[in-house]
Chain A
Amino acid sequence: MLTNAPLQTITAEHLERLGQQIYHKLGLYFDEKKNYFLKTRVAKRMAALGMDNPDDYVFMVSYADASGLEMQELANLVTTNETYMFREYDQLQGFANYCLPEVLSAKQDRGDKTLRIWCAGCSSGEEAYTLAMIIQEVFPQSQSWDCKITATDIDENMLRKVAAARYGQRSINDVPQEYKDKYLIAEGEEYAVRRRTAALVEPRYLNLNDRMALRAMRGFDFIFCRNVLIYFDDLSRKSVVDHFYNALNPGGYIFLGHSESIGRVTSAFTLKKFENHLVYVKE
């Protein structure tokens, strides 16, 4: 239970400073509209640490958390680990309406009929299958192309779920109806991904901390690694993203979570704007 005292003394300034620290250290952007949300989580951490004064908490997180452990504790509270299909729809729109057509068009011009996507840290696979549905929807010719979505994770249990391609109601709540009708089959209380769509996704074990395994990942047109890197320390995060750079073909795009910024981690990628979508590409 939260004590009221810390909650009442946490000011907008404290939240702004913590938001900046979260942005600096985790690359996670915190919308000021979520200030109350952040405030309650901070109060929780203060209570856990037996701290009364938010000045002390801000100081500790900013300057006395060399191991980054407290920042991780806070990150665990402020991020949702929930995964579901069509999460962060805006970003998927940018992918589907601009980035994907651009890459496909360039490949078509070269006579290259392959499309490779990597979902890094795929968890139970909702994202990978979302991308599979989008590809089949906006690019019907994908049937005659060599398209593959490599969904990797370190958790074998998760990879089994990816292979099963069956999801409960919570996972499919945000799937637009026309996609449900075309790409999913209701089976009892679950939904199975239709075989033709599921076939695009290949689950594979991969530990993002294994640099040798990362080096073997080459030739991708898109990499999605959303809401995963915030759990890495600075150096590891940078290392993974550098490997992502190498794994991408020139002209390939990288997508982190919509509130994560690749620009915080590396300046190797180039920022591009499509209407109101900001995306990062390897030039």
Chain B
Amino acid sequence: MITKKTILIVDDSEFVRSYHSYILEEANFQVITAVDGSDGLEKLYANSCDLVLSDINMSNMDGYEFIRRVRTDKKYSALPIIIVSTESEARDKMKGFEAGANLYIVKPSSPEMMVENIRMVLSAN
């Protein structure tokens, strides 16, 4: 039996979390959600996740800080992380990769592209 991959969605918008959750569940992923970077770390530590989708602009702990802290833990050095953000400048993407993200998707992405990108990153991993 193939177990579903689990994706952690970290975003401070309830609507975005819900919207992306349904897209991913339809694509046969299991989904866990977090409201910001701090919550993301707690959910990551408490669950077994195969990939993380993270927003950047969040109160309390933003996405770059979240990713940096994830990467400082050796256990998660290879965990695939995709940034999903409204910020589209080249410098934002550079910062994302410097923090340790594998991919940077600009919102709003089409559901098909999002799922394709996730599958691509998972299989590359």
Contact = CB atoms under 8 A, between A and B. Distances in A.
The interface size bin for chain B is 10 to 19
Nearest to A269: B38
A267 B60 contact: yes
A23 interface: yes
A83 interface: no
B81 interface: no
Contact of B39 (A261, A266, A270, A273): A261
Contact of A261 (B14, B38, B69): B38
B97 to A, nearest CB: 22
Contacts of A12: none
Interface residues of A, number: 12
A107 interface: no
B37 A24 contact: no
B46 interface: yes
B16 to A, nearest CB: 14
A267 B42 contact: no
B45 interface: yes
Contacts, number: 32
Contacts of B41: 263, 271
Nearest to B41: A271
A278 B60 contact: no
B61 interface: yes
A81 B94 CA distance: 49
Given A263-B38, A263-B39, A264-B38, A271 B60 contact: no
| Most chain B beta carbons < 10 A, residue from A261, A263, A266 | A263
Contacts of A267: 37-38, 60-61, 65
Given A263-B60, A264-B60, A271 B42 contact: yes
B35 interface: yes
A12 to B, nearest CB: 14
Nearest to A272: B45
Given A263-B42, A263-B61, A264-B39, 9 more contacts: A20-B35, A261-B38, A261-B39, A264-B38, A264-B60, A267-B61, A271-B42, A278-B45, A278-B46
Interface of A: 20, 23-24, 261, 263-264, 266-267, 270-271, 273, 278
16 contacts: A20-B14, A261-B39, A263-B38, A263-B39, A263-B42, A263-B61, A264-B60, A267-B37, A267-B61, A267-B65, A270-B69, A271-B45, A273-B45, A278-B42, A278-B45, A278-B46
